[in-house]
């Protein structure tokens, strides 16, 4: 059955709309697998240990503070003031804080999905000056000073930590004796009464965690060095490290900051006794390389372009060779292309993305080549279509691996396709097959 060019174009457009359904189903499958991977990561973090953020050591003094509060007197309609006494924790940060940590990483799997975890030794040294406890006329102490270190997830402590001043180890308070304002993630010890002059607090933690390790720069001057054997670190948070070394065998990051740069973090802790803002910490993340699912999702975004170019090539073949290709044959080739993306998702969970992409391209290209060789009754024509299809897939793979130039390369590919169509059809009389209207003399 012969179709006019306009009618055939409309049929092709309808077939592309039909192919939207299987491509959307593949997208849904990718989303399901990504949610499963995220669920596994959450489960591992819940059972091993979560992201760790360290805050301290700090000195916190329970106090009763005198506040002058303004209120509206309903009887007189005037604004008056009254004195209120509130229980608070006065927070004192050290002069200097030195943090050193070394991470040993591994990947824990549930089925085919994994998430990075680490075991680390972290040492903190905080130096307090002699004048940390200055008198305040509006406050009086209501309890002994507390030495406080907050840990993001206490389940990650492989052994009971030791807070030391000089050669003395301070006993930790049991959970029931810790002020509620500090929450349930604090290590607290009573500061000895004889400590009056400058002193240094040292803490060593054998710490387990997952995904990231961070520390709040709660000192007038903070220096931190973190190293590990993970080759894909991500440095995020308040500041980037002043020095970094990243190799295939691991990383080293060094931070150096002061209370002016970290004023927001210090104010956050002083206001509420804790700070949950991720952006206030110095952080290293164990970034997982681009997974097969993510790469497959990016590749799927180009599926409509590939199907469109393939159908355009069929249409040109019909026009130039005057050979009819049935719409059902268009549809079957389109479904073969959709199967390429389904194979890409399935293989990408078990193989490197490059291998998954290559195998899927060869299999789908071979299927299309064998089918078209029979449909067009010409092996060169069928293999030519398959070769052109493989070339387009290779170009798409190059675009996927050049994120910064993806728009440029995609635009060039589309321009080249349009230019080829215009050049090949420049001598075709598109109205030749249209019915001519008879005119009366």
Burial class for 176, CB neighbours closer than 10 Å (0-12, 13-18, 19+):
exposed
Cis geometry, peptide bond prior to residue 57 (ω within 30 degrees of 0)? yes
Q: Which of 147-151, 274-278, 329-333 has the lowest mean pLDDT?
A: 274-278
As a whole number, mean pLDDT of residues 105-134 equals 82
Is pLDDT of 1 > 60? no
Under 8 Å between Cβ of 127 and 200? yes
pLDDT in tens, 21-67: 888 888 888 888 878 877 877 788 777 888 888 887 888 887 777 76
Instruction: State the pLDDT at residue 377.
Output: 78
Is pLDDT of 217 > 80? yes
More confident residue, 218 or 422: 218
Is pLDDT of 99 > 90? yes
Locus of tokens 């990383």:
251
**3-class secondary structure, 410:** helix
- Contacts of 248-252 with C-beta under 8 Å, sequence gap 24+, read 251/227, 251/284, 252/225, 252/226, 252/227
**Most confident residue range from 9-18, 43-52, 215-224, 366-375:** 215-224
Is pLDDT of 176 > 80? no
CA dist., res. 313 & res. 332, Å (int): 15
Query: What is the CA 344 to chain-centroid distance, rounded?
Result: 22
**3-class secondary structure, 151:** strand
Query: What is the CA 272 to chain-centroid distance, rounded?
Result: 29
Burial class for 96, CB neighbours closer than 10 Å (0-12, 13-18, 19+):
middle
CA dist., res. 190 & res. 198, Å (int): 17
Is pLDDT of 98 > 90? yes
pLDDT tier for residue 5 given thresholds of 50, 70 and 90: low
pLDDT in tens, 247-264: 888 899 999 988 777 777
81: part of which helix (H) or strand (E)?
strand 79-92
Instruction: State the pLDDT at residue 440.
Output: 46
Under 8 Å between Cβ of 92 and 62? no
Architecture per CATH, domain 51-65+81-286, reads as Sandwich (2.60)
The structural domains of the chain, with segments of one domain joined by +, span 5-37+292-424, 51-65+81-286
- The pTM assigned to this predicted structure is 0.69
Is pLDDT of 150 > 80? yes
pLDDT tier for residue 272 given thresholds of 50, 70 and 90: low
Mean pLDDT of the chain: 79
CA dist., res. 310 & res. 355, Å (int): 23
Cβ-proximal residues to 12 (8 Å cutoff; 6+ apart), any chain: 311, 315, 327, 330
375: part of which helix (H) or strand (E)?
helix 353-375
The percent of residues in the chain predicted with pLDDT above 90, rounded, is 6
Cβ-proximal residues to 260 (8 Å cutoff; 6+ apart), any chain: none
pLDDT in tens, 193-207: 777 678 888 999 898
Is pLDDT of 431 > 70? no
How many CB atoms are located within 10 Å of the residue 173 CB? 18
Q: What is the CA radius of gyration of the chain?
A: 34
As a whole number, mean pLDDT of residues 370-377 equals 81
């Amino acid at each position: 059955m012969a179709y006019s060019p306009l009618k055939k174009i409309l049929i092709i457009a309808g077939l592309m709309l039909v192919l939207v359904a299987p491509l959307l189903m593949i997208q849904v499958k990718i989303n399901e697998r990504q949610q499963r991977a995220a669920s596994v990561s959450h489960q591992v973090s819940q059972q091993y240990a979560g992201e760790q953020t360290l805050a301290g050591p700090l000195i916190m003094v329970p106090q009763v503070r005198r506040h002058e509060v303004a209120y509206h007197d309903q009887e007189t309609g005037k604004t008056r003031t009254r004195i209120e006494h509130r229980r608070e924790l006065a927070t004192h940060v050290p002069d200097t804080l030195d943090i050193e940590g070394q991470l040993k990483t591994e990947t824990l799997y549930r089925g085919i999905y994994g998430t990075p975890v680490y075991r680390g030794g972290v040492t903190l040294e905080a130096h307090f000056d002699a004048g940390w406890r200055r008198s305040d006329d509006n406050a009086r102490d209501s309890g002994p000073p507390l030495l406080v270190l907050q840990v993001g997830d206490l389940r990650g402590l492989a052994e009971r930590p030791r807070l030391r001043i000089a050669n003395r180890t301070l006993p930790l308070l049991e959970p029931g004796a810790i002020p509620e304002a500090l929450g349930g993630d604090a290590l607290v010890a009573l500061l000895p009464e004889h400590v009056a002059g400058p002193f240094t607090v040292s803490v060593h933690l054998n710490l387990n965690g997952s995904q990231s390790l961070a520390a709040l720069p709660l000192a007038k001057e903070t220096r931190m060095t973190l190293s590990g054997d993970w080759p894909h670190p991500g440095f995020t948070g308040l500041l980037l490290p002043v020095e970094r070394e990243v190799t295939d065998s691991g990383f080293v990051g060094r931070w150096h900051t002061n209370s002016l740069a970290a004023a927001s973090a210090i104010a956050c802790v002083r206001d509420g006794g804790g700070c949950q803002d991720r952006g206030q910490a110095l952080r290293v993340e164990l970034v997982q390389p681009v997974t097969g699912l993510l790469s497959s999702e990016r590749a799927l975004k180009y599926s409509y372009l590939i199907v469109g170019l393939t159908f355009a090539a069929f249409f040109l073949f019909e026009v130039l060779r005057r050979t009819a290709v049935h719409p059902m044959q268009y549809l079957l080739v389109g479904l073969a292309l959709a199967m390429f993306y389904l194979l890409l998702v399935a293989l990408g969970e078990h193989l490197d993305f490059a291998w998954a992409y290559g195998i899927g391209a060869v299999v789908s290209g071979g299927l299309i080549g064998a089918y078209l060789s029979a449909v067009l009754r010409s092996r060169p024509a069928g293999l030519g279509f398959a070769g052109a299809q493989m070339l387009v897939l290779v170009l798409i793979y190059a675009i996927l691996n050049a994120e910064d130039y993806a728009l440029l390369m995609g635009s060039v590919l589309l321009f080249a396709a349009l230019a080829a169509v215009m050049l090949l059809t420049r001598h075709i009389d598109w109205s030749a097959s249209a019915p001519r209207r008879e005119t009366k003399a």
